[in-house]
Structure 1
Amino acid sequence: MPPLAPTGPGRVLHQPATARYPEMPGKVAVVTGAARGMGARFAAGLATRGVHVVGGDLDAAAMTATADELAVALAAESVEDKPGRIVASALDVTRAEDHVALAQRAIDEFGRIDFWVNNAGIFPYAEVPDITPEQIRSTLSVNVEGVLFGAQAAAARMEPGSAIVNMASVSAVRVRKGRAAYCSSKAAVAHLTESLAVELGDQGIRVNAIAPGYIDTEMTRWIQDDAPALAKALDAVPLHRIGSPEEVCSVLLFLLSDSSRYVTGHSLAVDGGSRHV
């Protein structure tokens, strides 16, 4: 295989993962916040490997459009395994009952839930004096309660050998100015992941988290469009580039697969080493 060539803003390496997981075809995954961004990438990456996906999003119309677009793309793609189906559903992650309904949708459509990905989140900005009660409440509600409610709904319907993956962040361990609400919420997700892993281990359910750094998504577009800010950010990344969604998806697939069947309660950083700088 030829070496990867850095291209694009921040020298992003966009290339799909080549690893194959033969145990995945026929499995069923639920992905929250799947209408766009990393959630849509996760849904596509799973379906490409034969996993049936139920995608939930607050924007139900966008979720339906994404599911339709991915179905067309997968049908045209040359893949070794028959691609999985993608089903769209409405979801407000701040409502526990919506998670229950989403889980039931997966059971009704496919008869089981093997994987649950708590991806939905928000990325608010405000310096500490300007954080409003509404902002901190909404951030913790979406980013933390949404993870808890998803895990509760999933665990009630999962069999031993199933896996849950939460989206934490390198911001759980690194402070970013203007992101106090976000950073604190992701620190809570990292610790909640450990608690879930300990409590759900008795059911044979693994729970891990992914902690991305700077990834080439809409959430980081602001820094990619600001040359001085981008240069400063890349100075704090030992690999000196922005990561790609494909590289995050590769880690998701690993954490859901049997290759990580003795890994639980861990937050795996996908940050180019920036947490150490």
Structure 2
Amino acid sequence: MTAPNDQANPTRADDSPIAASYPELVGKVAVVTGAGRGMGAVFATELARRGINVVAGDLTGAPEVAEQVNRQITDGGRVVGHRADVTDPAGHDGLLRAGLDEFGRVDFWVNNAGIFPQAEFTEIPPEQLTSTYQVNVNGVVYGAQTAARHMREHGGGAIVNMASVAGVRVRATRAAYNSSKAAVRHLTSCMAVELGSDNIRVNAIAPGFVDTEMTRWVREDPAALDRALSTVPLHRVGAPIEVFGALYFLLSDSARYITGAVIPVDGGSQHI
């Protein structure tokens, strides 16, 4: 596989495999929301590859992702796809039940589902604010509530929320999205403080410019790509597997004394 410093394309994402191994996680069970495509599908795949069972939740696509992963990975964890609306607390309850019914336990909860709307500030329609906060903020709260209620009765666990570099950096036309991710950062701190006595760790990951469908338009526009990379000290696009590396660590015992943290996976862009 080509290295990120390949002279032909030094700005490409480094999607080489993550070598870390946490054998204590084998056999554990994780719920991942927004797993029907994109980053969530990568999380489900990579967790299963490492022996972790997964309940993949999404409005669409989750059963297909589960089928594909289970077909590809025969010596690892198993993935169960389940339809879930993260804006409805009952959707999260259904994901928990699916984990208990299929695997008999739920150890980890990854609040990954999110949407990325854009609009000039004075033109943000009420429905955009409503949908953005319902998915990106309420969905995180409802998922963490469901997870925490279960985990406090079963010795603890780990919750990981998906924040974003957008939570600390301002970009025009993204007020609704940026403010929702800023809320996720602060919610993570609130959860960590309140749930620590139940042995529940709560952390967040803040990706930057990562090679996903959401950023395809930037990668296809050379001028836009140059502008984007000018704000990334490592001067390249991130890969979903690199975000997974942070998630994998946060779920592991190597992070057992880490809670309330927001780990940036952004090539250093939050500092510019």
Q: Same fold (TM over 0.5)?
A: yes
Q: Secondary structure at the match of 1:240?
A: coil
Counterpart-to-counterpart distance in 2, 1:221 and 1:9 = 17
Residue number in structure 2 paired with 1:71: 70
CA offsets 1:110-168 (integer angstroms, 9 cap, x no match): 11111100000000010101101110011000000000000011111113341000000
Q: How high is the sequence identity, in percent, across the aligned residues?
A: 57
- Which consecutive aligned stretches of 4+ in structure 1 deviate over 4 angstroms post-superposition? none
Residue number in structure 2 paired with 1:23: 24
Moved more, 62-71 or 20-29: 62-71
Q: Superposition pairs for residues 222-241 of structure 1, below 5 Å?
A: 222-241=217-236
2:256 is the counterpart of 1:261:
yes
Counterpart-to-counterpart distance in 2, 1:191 and 1:160 = 25
Structure 1 counterpart of 2:263, one-letter code: L
Structure 2 counterpart of 1:120, one-letter code: A
Structure 2 counterpart of 1:167, one-letter code: M
Q: Cα 1:9–1:124, aligned 2, differ >3 Å: closer, same or farther?
A: farther
Gaps of 5+ in 2: none
Aligned residue pair count? 268
How high is the TM-score relative to the length of structure 1?
0.94
Residue number in structure 2 paired with 1:13: 14
Tell me if structure 1 keeps the 8 A contact 2:59–2:85.
yes
Q: Secondary structure at the match of 1:156?
A: helix
Q: Secondary structure at the match of 1:157?
A: helix
Structure 1 counterpart of 2:147, one-letter code: A
How high is the TM-score relative to the length of structure 2?
0.96
Tell me if structure 1 keeps the 8 A contact 2:4–2:11.
no
Moved more, 106-115 or 156-165: 156-165
Q: 1:203 aligns with which of 175, 198, 213?
A: 198
Counterpart-to-counterpart distance in 2, 1:6 and 1:55 = 34
Tell me if structure 2 keeps the 8 A contact 1:118–1:167.
yes
Tell me if structure 1 keeps the 8 A contact 2:66–2:79.
yes
Counterpart-to-counterpart distance in 2, 1:26 and 1:136 = 39
Counterpart-to-counterpart distance in 2, 1:160 and 1:226 = 50
* CA RMSD, Structure 1 to Structure 2 (Å): 1.4
Residue number in structure 2 paired with 1:79: none
2:99 is the counterpart of 1:100:
no
Counterpart-to-counterpart distance in 1, 2:156 and 2:23 = 15
Q: Superposition pairs for residues 151-170 of structure 1, below 5 Å?
A: 151-158=144-151, 159-170=154-165
Tell me if structure 2 keeps the 8 A contact 1:112–1:157.
no
Q: Superposition pairs for residues 148-187 of structure 1, below 5 Å?
A: 148-158=141-151, 159-187=154-182
Q: Cα 1:116–1:9, aligned 2, differ >3 Å: closer, same or farther?
A: farther
Structure 2 counterpart of 1:41, one-letter code: V
Counterpart-to-counterpart distance in 2, 1:32 and 1:9 = 33
